[in-house]
Structure 1
Amino acid sequence: MDEERKSTGELLERALAAVLEAPERRVENAVDSAASLLAASAERWPAVSRALLTLADASLGALWARGWRPADLARLVRRDLAQAHQALLVDLLAAEARRHSPAALDRRWQEQLRELATEVWWPRDEDFLPGFATRHRLDRFALATAALELLRLLGRLPAIAPVGPAPGGAQRPVEHRAAVRVPGEPRMLARIRALLAKAESTEYPQEAEALTEKAQQLMAQHSIDEALLAAGAPEGSLPGALRIGVENPYEGPKAMLLDAVAAANRCRVVWAKEFGFCTVIGFDSDLDAVELLYTSLLVQATAAMQQSGSKQHLDGASRTRAFRQSFLVSYAARIRERLTEATERTTREAAAGRHLREDGTAEQLVPDERLLPALAAREEAVDSATDRMFPKLTSQRVRVSDGEGWAAGRAAADRAALHGRSRVERGRG
């Protein structure tokens, strides 16, 4: 049995090596040949199943060491491959996660696995491929092909800047908060969440704007409180980072919208266009606010943009793409103004001693002279962390070519509710 397992493992490794080394023009032939070899024997198929899980564990572990995370891989596979590959990746992630105790995974890693609905459903490793084939109605050759294509994609990914510890790595001593409400979370966060939920459900734009502006002010106040708390601690917390998917179409304006939300919440954004995500650098509670608010605003912007319908030039040629590009750029610019104004107003009031309570009412306190230096120190820490993670940054211009789209986008941003959606509602991308 051990000899069979060893020989099957070597067979799979050779097959994958041939696929990885094949030039682009010969990839299809290489995959076909390797898949035919792996799927040739029904008797050997259970051994191939065990070998695949073993090889996938090693491949994923290498990717974690190179900075990748489960949601990053899911985005790339969804973009570049097919549904069967996505399902296969989720199961391979579930299998690899068996190697780690929950304590070895930071909370965002655990959230990503939950959102992907990872589950070890197969009783034994030799049952995995046969069971997967039955579930997804694939024959052995089709499944071997999907596995090799997936492993080729994963095996060719470069190292990227990490946004947290790999499984089993050292955890930073910061208080992590989940993006969905959890028992015992600070009442300020519960109040913010309640305001956002009410703003989400109202049918009246003015009411939504008022509610969400209050929520943004409370978010800013919470960030201020965190800064003062850290300033009084012997060792303050350090900036962290997360990745948020920013994909076609109109990925440039979407990245601009994310940057607008991040800047208002004292975070920085770096866009990796080739991988379809942005890295957001900031302090932990601010990162959660950015993710929730960006996702909600993107949903609102998309809905408003689509309501505008298609557009044409006078000669009948389509200008829908130019309109929508300009719409989203304008929307992002106006959202930046609104969010920045709300944050600056809350900061001015806090510096004067005016403090927002957890219930949303205000109280007058003695001004804290530590506030502005503490905020400046946190901004400097975020900038320094960004420079360390990304020492070679470049900027990129986004073109606006449709005046009507610009005007419509700005109007939609004025109507937008500045609030977030829960992860269960939005289904992360």
Structure 2
Amino acid sequence: MSQAMLAKVRKLLAKAEDPACTPEESAAFTAKATELIARYGVDRALLAARDPTTDPVGDRVVEVVAPYARDKAGLLAAVADPLRCRCVRRRHGDGFAMHLFGFASDLERVDLLFTSLLVQAAHGLAAAGVPAGEHPAAFRRSWLAGFAQVVGARLAAAEADAVADSGGPSVALVLADRSDRVQRRVAEVYPRLRTAAPRRLAGTGFGSGAAAGRRADLGGRGVTPAARPARGLTR
């Protein structure tokens, strides 16, 4: 991401995270940061259509560690999919090694967003009260599921708006081709992938997590290395 664009996103997020901000002001700053991130993705895709060397297809591995490793892996997938990246979950110790595939600019966006959202999820969980009599882990898993679902929907909407604002069908075709190329790379590396069975969560935290997802800042603090452990959430 260009330094100028990153600086704008950082300023917006700093304002959105200011405790003195009202929820309405925070939401407005967040919406603008999300818009910039999405517009950047479209701009890089169009540039790469003219010069493929500017944005090659690549991959990286993100280690997602306990506690709640499977839930954090679900959040990563929720971020990656609308940004046209694909991830393969591999068991690694008591966590997962998430193998991400995508164009370099999209992998960068996923890394920015996921790093920020993990911190926000940790703060949200710390502030969410577990109902009396409910198992804390069950509540927190369902909370994270709600958070991830809403974040994914918000990112998909921002991406769709960026495409609509950038020039119509030709842009959509460029992005569809990029998605196809990423999927082919995944198939080359993992020719026998299986779809994971859906989870059944018993906790009651989904609604609270979804509300936190609607408030989440969809931006990041900076670009981190290609492979690093994801930050933990409080058990």
Normalized against structure 1, the TM-score is what?
A: 0.48
**Alignment-derived partner of residue 323 in structure 1:** 139
In 1, Cα distance between equivalents of 2:52 and 2:140:
50
CA-CA distance at 1:237 after TM superposition: 3.9
Q: Map 1:50-129; keep pairs closer than 5 Å.
A: none
Residue in structure 1 matched with residue 9 of structure 2 by the alignment: 192
Counterpart selection for 2:148 from 332, 337, 341: 332
Quote the residue 1:166 is aligned against. none
Kept after mapping to 1: 8 A contact 2:63/2:98:
yes
- Which residue does the alignment assign to 2:232? none
Residue of structure 1 equivalent to 2:213 = 413
| CA spacing shift, 1:236–1:306, aligned 2, 3 Å | closer
**One-letter code aligned to 1:196:** L
Q: Deviations over 1:163-190 (max 9, x none)?
A: xxxxxxxxxxxxxx6xxxxxxx453344
- Cα distance in 1 for residues equivalent to 2:86 and 2:170: 23
Cα deviation digits, residues 128-148 of structure 1 (max 9, x gap): xxxxxxxxxxxxxxxxxxxxx
Residue type matched to 2:149 in 1? A
| 1:209 correspondence with 2:27 | yes
Deviation for aligned residue 1:235? 5.8
Give the Å deviation of 1:306.
2.0
Match of 1:351 among 151, 167, 172: 167
Give, in angstroms, the shift of residue 309 of structure 1.
3.4
Task: Indicate conservation of the 8 Å contact 1:243/1:278, yes or no.
Answer: yes
Contact 2:108/2:223 (<8 A) preserved: no
Shift of 1:372: 2.0
Tell me which residue corresponds to 1:51.
none
Q: Secondary structure at the match of 2:65?
A: coil
1:272 counterpart SS class:
strand
Identity, in percent, stands at 37
Deviation of the 1:261 alpha carbon: 0.9
Deviation at 1:250, TM superposition (A): 1.5
Partner secondary structure for residue 273 of structure 1: strand
Q: Which has the higher contact order (CA 8 A, sep 6+)?
A: 2
Query: Could you report, residue by residue, the CA deviation over 1:49-78 in whole angstroms, capped at 9, with x for unpaired residues?
Result: xxxxxxxxxxxxxxxxxxxxxxxxxxxxxx
- Match of 1:279, SS state, is strand
Question: What SS does the aligned partner of 2:107 have?
Answer: helix
1:398 aligns with 2:218: no
The one-letter code matched in structure 1 to 2:216 is A
Q: Please state which structure has a larger fraction of its residues in strand.
A: 2
Aligned residue type for 2:71? P
191 and 421 in structure 1: CA distance in 2 versus 1, 3 angstrom threshold: closer
| Change beyond 3 A, Cα 1:212–1:252 | same
Residue in 1 that maps onto 2:124:
304
Summarize the Cα distance change of 1:234–1:406 in structure 2 as closer, same or farther, 3 Å threshold. Answer: closer
The one-letter amino acid of 1:192's match is V
Deviation (angstroms), 1:268: 0.9
What is the distance in 2 between the residues matched to 1:203 and 1:282?
38
Q: Helix, strand or coil for the counterpart of 1:248?
A: coil
Aligned position for 1:266:
84
Distance 2:44 2:212 in 1: 32
Residue pair 1:400, 1:406 contacting (<8 A) in 2 also: no
**Aligned amino acid, residue 188 of structure 1:** M
- Cα 1:385/1:197, change in 2 over 3 Å: farther
Separation in structure 2 between the aligned mates of residue 228 and residue 310 of structure 1, nearest angstrom: 46
Structure 2 unmatched ranges of 5 or more: 230-235
The 1-side partners of 2:219 and 2:54 are apart by 29
* Correspondence for 1:248 among 61, 66, 76: 66
**CA distance, structure 2, for counterparts of residue 243 and residue 213 of structure 1:** 29
Q: 1:251 to 1:188 in 2, by over 3 A?
A: same
CA–CA separation in structure 1 for the residues paired with 2:116 and 2:211: 17
Q: What's the secondary structure of 1:281's corresponding residue?
A: strand
Q: How does 1:353-368 map to 2 (within 5 A)?
A: none
Question: 34, 38, 47: which is aligned to 1:229?
Answer: 47
Alpha-carbon shift at residue 208 of structure 1 (Å): 2.6
Deviations 1:66-121 (A, max 9, x none): xxxxxxxxxxxxxxxxxxxxxxxxxxxxxxxxxxxxxxxxxxxxxxxxxxxxxxxx
CA contact (8 A) 1:200 1:419 kept: no
Matched, 1:422 2:222: yes
Q: Which structure has the larger Rg?
A: 1
- The alignment covers a number of residue pairs equal to 222
